[in-house]
Amino acid sequence: MQDTINLLLSRRSVRSFEKRAIEDEQLKLLKTATLRAPTAGNMALYSIVEVHDAQKKQKLSEICDNQEMIAQAPLVWVFLADMQKWVNYFHESLAVEKAGKDNLASYRKPGLGDLHLCMQDAIIAAQNAVVAAEALGIGSCYIGDVIENFEALRTLLDLKQYTIPACMLIFGYPKGKKPVKLTPRCPEDSIFMQDSYQEPHLKQLEEAFALHEQQRRATNSLPYENTGTLADYYYLRKHTSAFMEEMNRSTSVMFDWWCNG
């Protein structure tokens, strides 16, 4: 048990990998551990596209804000919220026939509740993969930018109506043996709330992000390091960024496609 806790407490994102493939036996274990993730109703409401093709990996890196580490990663997994498999199963088995195959008005199309469950399944499986990879000595990094430029990703991976990107992971053996430097996290009492939501305001937020503020001011590699507050920093760098605007646009397209085709 202690080994598992230590693994969780020391895990960090890795963005630079050795130029060698994941060993076959380790890849098999990684897949097995991923599939053991909890899943709603044991329906496995997700699929994983393992991208091998070098040209597709390069295109994927361009879609995701030109992050070359994606193209260079030995292993790339795109996790999909996938209800398409069950839509096909319902239609191609007796399920829809029993409901009245000639009267599709009686057939319930997937809605946003289905999408929510599919997203949960996909992301839970992804986190299983992250922990398993760490145990195997394999580094990993989540790529949030996979929810940008949905139309291009849909074409690249030939996605169907009820398959939506939930997240992406890149894997590889970490390059070098650098000391682990963990990024700060908020203190426990700023995250855990008893019985109801307790809305935080300025004093509580300043306390919650105090370590983040200290780390930001200790480095001089990014703009507005020593001016303004952490709120200024993230508002300008993240909240009002071009990539965040694209994520919101792209996600709106995804959800509309899921609901309306």
* 106 bridge partner residues: none
The answer, yes or no, to whether residue 93 has pLDDT greater than 60, is yes
* Distance between CA atoms of residues 194 and 76, nearest Å: 39
Instruction: Return the higher-pLDDT residue of 52 and 226.
Output: 52
Per-residue confidence at 105, pLDDT binned at 50, 70, 90?
low
* Average pLDDT of the residues in 50-77: 97
Comparing CA positions, the residue from 225, 255, 58, 233 lying closest to residue 147 is 255
Q: Of 35-44, 206-215, 216-225, 230-239, give the range with the top mean pLDDT.
A: 35-44
Q: Is-contact 21 193, C-beta < 8 A?
A: no
Per-residue confidence at 96, pLDDT binned at 50, 70, 90?
low
pLDDT reported for residue 102: 58
pLDDT reported for residue 51: 98
pLDDT reported for residue 106: 66
* 139 bridge partner residues: 172
Element containing residue 71 per DSSP (H, E): helix 68-72
pLDDT reported for residue 41: 96
This prediction's pTM: 0.92
**Residue whose entry in the numeric block shows the structure tokens 């990024």:** 183
Q: How far apart are the first and last CA of the chain?
A: 47
Comparing CA positions, the residue from 82, 70, 66, 78 lying closest to residue 246 is 66
Mean pLDDT rounded to a whole number for the chain = 91
Instruction: Return the higher-pLDDT residue of 108 and 259.
Output: 259
* Distance between CA atoms of residues 57 and 51, nearest Å: 6
150-205 pLDDT, tens per residue? 999 999 999 999 999 999 999 999 998 777 778 889 999 999 999 999 999 999 99
Q: Of 46-50, 92-96, 179-183, give the range with the top mean pLDDT.
A: 46-50
Q: Is-contact 119 84, C-beta < 8 A?
A: no
* Distance between CA atoms of residues 153 and 251, nearest Å: 12
* Distance between CA atoms of residues 182 and 205, nearest Å: 21
200-210 pLDDT, tens per residue? 999 999 999 99
Lowest-confidence pick of 86-100, 137-151, 229-243 = 86-100
The answer, yes or no, to whether residue 104 has pLDDT greater than 80, is no
pLDDT reported for residue 230: 85
Cα dihedral 33, 26, 157, 244, rounded to 10, equals 70
The answer, yes or no, to whether residue 103 has pLDDT greater than 70, is no
Tokens of 138: 């394999």
